[in-house]
């Protein structure tokens, strides 16, 4: 009988699956035949052979998880976009419904270059999917994948890659979904093309001396455009400038309709400082002269005050009536967010082992409400994205001291209490999207509920 070993005493055929036991299961006699390591090695070899004989599982996408585009639409939920190349078939663009774990649609079957599409050539804006293929722009319906229109460009489109939450092809659509609007497409040769969102009709094309550093949607169909040393509020259809700030701008953040700007030698005063400008009313709300601001740390506004890091992050200052405060000696500020009535501050030890620290600060007095103590030094990059807040909870990347390939997400309320804690693998990014926490790690993409950290949807590598 194959797959058996005869007992040396009763000669009963002993199945090899139990041959590791030190006695015969029929007569109890000690077996002199096979040893445990040999049995284990044989079982492992059989398992490897069976795995190799299985048909390969078809991958949903042909690109890595970090190259995909995650999007949210209130009508359809969360979706991942990227190229797919089923075995023996032509490449195509695929949309995957992350919530229902199914392919939602496929488009652009067999088109040249579609198999190499990544987030760099994708943008999703107000129900449209914009796909860049060389000098062509193809626009698809997000829900169905049906093609809406195409346009030829002067060159391939530029893209942003600095932040998972905002990265993608430089296509800007400021109008609300469902309303008539104008789309800007920015090419790498510094040419901006404007199209009617619904028909694809080109409205104008303009070559700029320099590519805009940033373009943000603003209000009902307007754009904020930063070029050189100016920020302009622009009507995208006519290019008419409705408001303009001119000067040396070191950092620009937004809080509602207000720009929070760190500036050098500003205006007739020629003073360094922090400026608050309301683009809706076109008025300056605050200027406070401050020197040595840290422009790597985002500026935060709350409770009628503006918070900045200064002296390379060693101190926190709030305007108006600034009075710099050192929060924790030897620790420098790396990021800040508001969570309810508390300013959450991420710090890093400036010399020696780069351990991190999170403190909650009273916005009125700049005193520390709570201190979580020293945290593991990892993650040790992408500081401004290590914590994010929806106003109710702040979610922090919390590394493991002994395992660099594993990280937790820790959710804190405004009092510093832990709301939940979830292990996510080796952390890459997390941010709020569609009211949920979107996470990318070595495990793939996960969508977590912000109230309890439960996995709402996921896409594993």
**pLDDT digits 0-9 by tens, 188-215:** 999 999 999 999 999 999 999 888 999 9
Residue 189: strand, helix, or coil: coil
For residue 20, give Cα distances in angstroms to 27, 411, 423. Answer: 16, 49, 38
Please tell me whether the overall predicted TM-score, pTM, comes out greater than 0.75 for this model: yes
Q: Report the Cα 164 to chain-centroid distance in Å.
A: 3
What percent of the chain has pLDDT above 70? Answer: 87
Residue 391 belongs to domain spanning? 327-461
CA atoms within 13 A on the CB side of 256: 8
- Judged against a pLDDT cut of 70, whether residue 164 lies above it is answered with yes
In a domain, 92, yes or no: no
- Judged against a pLDDT cut of 70, whether residue 33 lies above it is answered with no
Q: What is the rounded distance in angstroms from the CA atom of residue 11 to the CA atom of residue 386?
A: 67
Read off the pLDDT of residues 320-374 as tens digits, 9 standing for 90 and up.
999 999 999 999 999 999 999 999 999 999 998 889 999 999 999 999 999 999 9
Here the tokens at position 430 are 């997390």
CATH assignment at residue 431: 2.40.128.630
Q: Which residues pair with 20 in a beta bridge?
A: none
In a domain, 453, yes or no: yes
Q: In sequence order, which residues have a C-beta less than 8 Å from that of residue 313 and are 6 or more positions away? A: 294, 296, 297, 332, 333, 334, 347, 350
Contacts 24+ apart (CB under 8 A), 435-444: 435/390, 436/72, 436/78, 437/388, 437/395, 437/409, 438/70, 438/78, 438/164, 438/165, 439/409, 440/65, 440/66, 440/70, 440/164, 441/407, 442/405, 444/65
In a domain, 270, yes or no: no
In a domain, 266, yes or no: no
Q: With CA atoms as reference, report the closest residue to 382 among 274, 293, 298, 308.
A: 298
DSSP 8-state class, residue 47: H
Q: What angle do CA 145, 150, 151 make, to 5 degrees?
A: 150
In a domain, 435, yes or no: yes
Q: What is the rounded distance in angstroms from the CA atom of residue 52 to the CA atom of residue 130?
A: 40
- Judged against a pLDDT cut of 60, whether residue 145 lies above it is answered with yes
Q: 233-255 b/e with 16+ CB inside 10 Å = b?
A: bbebbeeeeebebeeebebbbee
Q: Are 358 and 375 in contact (CB under 8 A)?
A: yes
- Cα dihedral: 363, 365, 369, 374 (round 10): 90
Question: What pLDDT, on the 0 to 100 scale, is given for residue 381?
Answer: 83
In a domain, 193, yes or no: no
In a domain, 41, yes or no: no
| Neighbour-count burial of 353, counting CB atoms closer than 10 A to its CB (0-12 exposed, 13-18 middle, 19+ buried) | exposed
Domain count, the chain: 1
Mean pLDDT over 163-168 rounds to 92
In a domain, 421, yes or no: yes
Q: Which of 20-29, 123-132, 294-303, 382-391 has the lowest mean pLDDT?
A: 20-29
Q: With CA atoms as reference, report the closest residue to 19 among 2, 30, 34, 1.
A: 34
């Amino acid at each position: 009988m194959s797959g058996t070993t005869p007992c040396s005493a009763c000669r009963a055929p002993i199945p090899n699956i139990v041959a590791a036991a030190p006695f015969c299961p029929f007569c109890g006699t000690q077996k002199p035949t096979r040893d445990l390591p040999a049995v284990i090695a044989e079982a492992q070899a059989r398992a490897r052979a069976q795995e190799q004989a299985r048909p390969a599982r078809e991958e949903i996408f042909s690109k890595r998880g970090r190259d995909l585009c995650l999007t949210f639409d209130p009508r359809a939920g969360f979706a991942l976009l990227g190229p797919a190349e089923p075995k023996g078939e032509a490449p195509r663009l695929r949309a995957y419904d992350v919530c229902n774990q199914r392919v939602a649609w496929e488009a652009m079957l067999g088109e040249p270059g579609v198999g190499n599409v990544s987030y760099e050539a994708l943008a999703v804006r107000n129900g449209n999917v914009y796909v860049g293929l060389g000098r062509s722009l193809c626009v698809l319906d997000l829900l169905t994948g049906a093609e809406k229109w195409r346009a030829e460009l002067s060159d391939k489109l530029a893209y942003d890659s600095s932040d998972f939450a905002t990265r993608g092809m430089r296509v800007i659509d400021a109008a609300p979904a469902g309303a008539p609007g104008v789309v800007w497409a920015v090419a790498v040769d510094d040419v901006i093309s404007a199209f009617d969102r619904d028909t694809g009709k080109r409205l104008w094309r303009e070559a700029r001396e320099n590519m805009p550093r940033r373009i943000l949607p603003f209000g009902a169909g307007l754009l904020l455009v930063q070029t050189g040393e100016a920020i302009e509020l622009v009507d995208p259809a006519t290019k008419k400038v409705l408001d303009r700030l001119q000067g040396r701008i070191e950092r620009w953040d937004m809080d509602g309709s207000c720009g929070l700007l760190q500036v050098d030698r500003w205006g007739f005063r020629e003073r360094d400082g922090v400026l608050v400008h309301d683009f809706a009313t076109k008025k300056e709300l605050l200027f406070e002269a401050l020197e040595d601001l840290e422009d790597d740390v985002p500026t935060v506004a709350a409770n009628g005050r503006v918070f900045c890091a200064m002296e390379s992050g060693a101190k926190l200052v709030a305007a108006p009536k600034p009075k710099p405060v050192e929060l924790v000696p030897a620790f420098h500020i790396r990021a800040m967010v508001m969570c309810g009535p508390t300013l959450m501050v991420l710090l890093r030890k400036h010399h020696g082992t780069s351990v991190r620290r999170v403190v909650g600060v009273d916005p009125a007095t700049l005193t520390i409400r709570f201190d979580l103590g020293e945290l593991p030094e990892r993650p040790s990059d992408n500081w401004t994205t290590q914590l994010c807040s929806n106003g109710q909870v702040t979610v922090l990347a919390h590394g493991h001291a002994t395992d660099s390939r594993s990280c937790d997400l820790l959710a804190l309320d405004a009092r510093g209490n832990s709301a939940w804690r979830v292990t996510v693998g080796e952390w890459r990014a997390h941010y709020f999207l569609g009211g949920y926490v979107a996470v990318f790690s070595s495990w793939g993409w996960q969508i977590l509920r912000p109230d309890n950290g439960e996995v709402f949807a996921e896409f594993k590598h």
